[in-house]
Amino acid sequence: MGKNEYLPLFETRASRGRLLFKLYVLTIFVAICMILVYRVSYLPVEGAVEIWSWIGMFFAELWFSFYWFITQLVRWNPIYRYTFKDRLSLRYEKDLPGVDIFVCTADPEIEPPNMVINTVLSMMAYDYPPEKLSVYLSDDGGSDLTFYAMLEASRFSKHWLPFCKKLKIQPRSPEAYFRTALEPLDDPNKAKEWLFVKKLYIDMKFQIEATTKLGKVPEEIRKEHKGFREWNFISSRRDHQTILEIRVSSRLSNSPVILNVDCDMYSNNSYSVRDALCFFMDEEKGREIGYLQYPQAFENITKNDIYCNSLNIEMEVDFLGIDGNGGPLYIGSGCFHRREALCGRRYSNENRVDWKEVNDRKVKESAGVLEEVCRILASCTYEANTEWGKEMGLIYGCLVEDVITGLSVQCKGWRSMYFIPERKGFLGLAPTTLLQTLVQHKRWSEGEFQILITRHSPFLLGHKRIPLKLQLSYCIYLLWATSWFAVLYYLVVPPLCLLRGISLFPKLSSPWIQSFAYAIFANRAYGLVEFVWSGGTIQGWWNGQRIWVFKRTTSHLFGFFDAIRKLLGFSTSTFVITAKVAEADVSERYEEEKMEFGVSSPMFNILATLALLNMFSFVGGIKMLIMDVESKVLDLLALQIILCGLLVLINLPIYQGLFFRKDSGRMPTPVTYKSIIVSLLACSVALY
């Protein structure tokens, strides 16, 4: 073994070439200070509307400045991590630990069984000793359709797993692989086997989809496996036996490492387990790692990411910085956990793992005894009056139970780490409609804000337990829901003041305009460079600006007030699953990057009203410019007219949906009428 036994299994490198970023931060900071000085220095002395509008602008800009500062603090010290799987194999190949993999699903209609089994098969096919992998499907929906699909998948796996190992294919989800892979024509034997396995998969897929469409498992199939008897005692989806819990796996495989994934997040990299173990099994730093988070990525993102669902900036920029500040958040899927950390144990410097001893743990009970014990462990009553859901396992009672669980693990002294492999570890499905995207972000922002205003806040729970810079890093997400007021104010007050001829920004002839111009231009320009560097396109960046406005005026608004209502006891948390399938015409418009509306929603009422309000104000501003002979309007109101013009460009898909589109994805007629009436009423009040 020689020198290799003393070499680390992973290394951490700081980001280089940060001079441009630091120069950007310094100059923007100066510009922001000048803007705030201007607001304080030029407060109007006459007119109640003018004074209060100006004060509102000051507080909105103060909020933008604070949030920008937090964001730059997060991004100040990004780090990158690299693994050495060859060293892992040389030192530990015979002592590799067991890994328990949890695939979570809840609804066979929203999360089709065929998608679920593709994820399961991709996990079973990891490049790892098969006897050390245990894959568990946690089905909150208690669906016999999903159970049937798993039964078919278990039969297919007897051919699929050897096929993957023999041809060393990537990815190892059969659906993803056969969608892109070409038949190996250079070898007749391989081609024959390839076609055979593909036909097996197509036949299995057809059977599963046909059964799912039928809505029930045929009686002749139910007789083939005793497991179907469980559904004889189920009265509804909400009244069924728990399929599986982490505590059940502790009695079966009891592996020291746990991976959890969503059912739509198939494995795209067969070496992900080995990469993860390079962290946990590192002799120097491995014992302090509680969990390792992989980035989330999606295979169905359109060329220009119409709904900004790729999360490129979050995954490629923010999380690298959060890792440098003390460790990333746990974000639900694609995360490897140390079992003892997830189950509530506190970190101690004395923690030492003997991987040989860990692997010697054997289950001594008979199959019958195990089955009965696991039924008790999986029951909802088992955890009553225990620490499960409070200090052990996932923390209950929050829409983002993953984030709050990760924070709890960190506060017990464990480190978390973030790893971006060269080949993406997991690929999932992003929402394909605007409403799905907004509802998903509403859930996220509500849950994050719920953490902030309860005892689980990082400033309370994490006080003296995690670094202050990590506590602040959480804030870029925990404060999402509170951003609605500043953004909504900027989208409503300047346009209405424009109609009244009230100036809220410096004159074009004033030197103060330079600070506003630089802050806006430099911030957006740097954001564009950052977005393109992270793999996006220029049009994708513009779509991101649009969705940024949409989320903050709808998702975060509703998320804020729902979190407050829950805090006051007027409602309870409800987890909404994002649909993973779409109608054919919806999918077609998504691929064509046409924004999908189609249904009535309070969120669309707000978006349409704001779009029309800014359009009417922009037209009013242009009319004032045309009628102004002395060019005073241009000097006085130029920035407000430009702001309204930019918002009109951002809202072009809204106008198309309101007035020009004829397909089923257009804006519903009631939304159109309501938004026209409300926006005209607002403009009338501003004018008179």
For 299-356, give the DSSP string: TT--TT-TT--S-HHIIIIIHHHHHHTT-PPP-SSSEEEEHHHHTTPPP-TT----HH
pLDDT category of residue 10 using cuts at 50, 70 and 90: very high
The residue with tokens 């959480």 is 474
Q: Which two tokens stand for residue 513?
A: 């305009």
Within 10 A of 443 (CB to CB), how many other CB atoms are there?
Answer: 22
Residue 558, exposed/middle/buried by CB under 10 A (0-12, 13-18, 19+)? buried
Beta bridge partners of 35: none
pLDDT at 205 over 90: yes
Helix (H, G, I), strand (E, B) or coil at 76: coil
Residue 634, exposed/middle/buried by CB under 10 A (0-12, 13-18, 19+)? middle
Q: What pLDDT is stored for residue 371 in this prediction?
A: 56
Give the angle 109-234-223 at the CA atoms, nearest 5°: 85
Better-predicted residue by pLDDT, 24 or 583: 24
Give a three-class secondary structure readout of 115-162: HHHHHHHHHHCCCCCHHHEEEEEEECCCCHHHHHHHHHHHHHHHHHHH
Tell me what the mean pLDDT of segment 505-513 comes to: 93
Is 140 catalytic? The answer is yes
Q: Which two tokens stand for residue 583?
A: 């109608």
pLDDT at 5 over 80: no
Helix (H, G, I), strand (E, B) or coil at 495: helix
Is 95 catalytic? The answer is no
Bind-site residues for UDP-alpha-D-glucose: 111, 140
**Residue 483 near residue 335, CB atoms below 8 Å:** no
Tell me what the mean pLDDT of segment 352-370 comes to: 62
Q: What pLDDT is stored for residue 244 in this prediction?
A: 46
Q: Which two tokens stand for residue 200?
A: 């097996």
Q: What is the pLDDT of residues 167-183, one digit of tens each?
A: 999 999 999 999 988 88
DSSP 382: G
**Residue 402 near residue 331, CB atoms below 8 Å:** yes
Helix, strand, coil abundance in the chain, percent, nearest 5: 60, 10, 35
Radius of gyration of the chain (CA): 28
Cα distances (Å, whole numbers) of residue 656 to 67, 306, 431: 33, 15, 21
Q: What pLDDT is stored for residue 369 in this prediction?
A: 58
> In this prediction, what percent of the chain has a pLDDT beyond 90?
69
Q: What is the pLDDT of residues 119-156, one digit of tens each?
A: 999 999 999 999 999 998 887 777 888 888 999 999 99
Which of the following is catalytic: 262, 305, 318, 402?
402
Cα distances (Å, whole numbers) of residue 541 to 70, 418, 603, 608: 22, 25, 23, 22
Q: Which two tokens stand for residue 532?
A: 């393109």
Q: What pLDDT is stored for residue 619 in this prediction?
A: 95
pLDDT category of residue 618 using cuts at 50, 70 and 90: very high
pLDDT category of residue 686 using cuts at 50, 70 and 90: confident
Query: Worst-scoring range by mean pLDDT, 68-77, 231-240, 504-513?
Result: 231-240
Better-predicted residue by pLDDT, 259 or 631: 259
Tell me what the mean pLDDT of segment 334-340 comes to: 94
**Residue 98 near residue 64, CB atoms below 8 Å:** no
Bind-site residues: 111, 140
Q: Name the residue among 244, 223, 214 with its Cα closest to residue 113.
A: 214
Q: Name the residue among 298, 288, 239, 240 with its Cα closest to residue 268.
A: 298
Which of the following is catalytic: 107, 127, 140, 635?
140
Beta bridge partners of 104: 138, 262
pLDDT at 59 over 80: yes
Q: What pLDDT is stored for residue 109 in this prediction?
A: 83
Average pLDDT over the chain reads: 88
Q: What pLDDT is stored for residue 141 in this prediction?
A: 72
Q: What pLDDT is stored for residue 78 in this prediction?
A: 94
**Residue 197 near residue 159, CB atoms below 8 Å:** yes
Q: What is the β-pairing status of strands 335-338 and 266-267?
A: unpaired
Highest mean pLDDT among 507-521, 558-572, 629-643: 507-521
What distance in Å separates the CA atoms of residue 373 and residue 279, rounded to the nearest whole number?
33
Tell me what the mean pLDDT of segment 196-206 comes to: 95
What distance in Å separates the CA atoms of residue 553 and residue 491, rounded to the nearest whole number?
9
What distance in Å separates the CA atoms of residue 233 and residue 140, rounded to the nearest whole number?
16
Better-predicted residue by pLDDT, 449 or 222: 449
Highest mean pLDDT among 211-220, 230-239, 364-373, 668-677: 668-677
Cβ contacts of residue 75 below 8 Å, gap of 6+? 21, 317, 318, 321
- To the nearest 10°, the Cα dihedral for 659, 664, 667, 670? 100
What distance in Å separates the CA atoms of residue 326 and residue 77, rounded to the nearest whole number?
11
Tell me what the mean pLDDT of segment 490-507 comes to: 94
The residue with tokens 């990537």 is 170
pLDDT at 363 over 60: no
Q: What pLDDT is stored for residue 631 in this prediction?
A: 77
Q: What pLDDT is stored for residue 84 in this prediction?
A: 95
Q: What is the pLDDT of residues 660-679, one digit of tens each?
A: 999 999 999 999 999 999 99
Better-predicted residue by pLDDT, 350 or 157: 157
What distance in Å separates the CA atoms of residue 479 and residue 507, rounded to the nearest whole number?
33
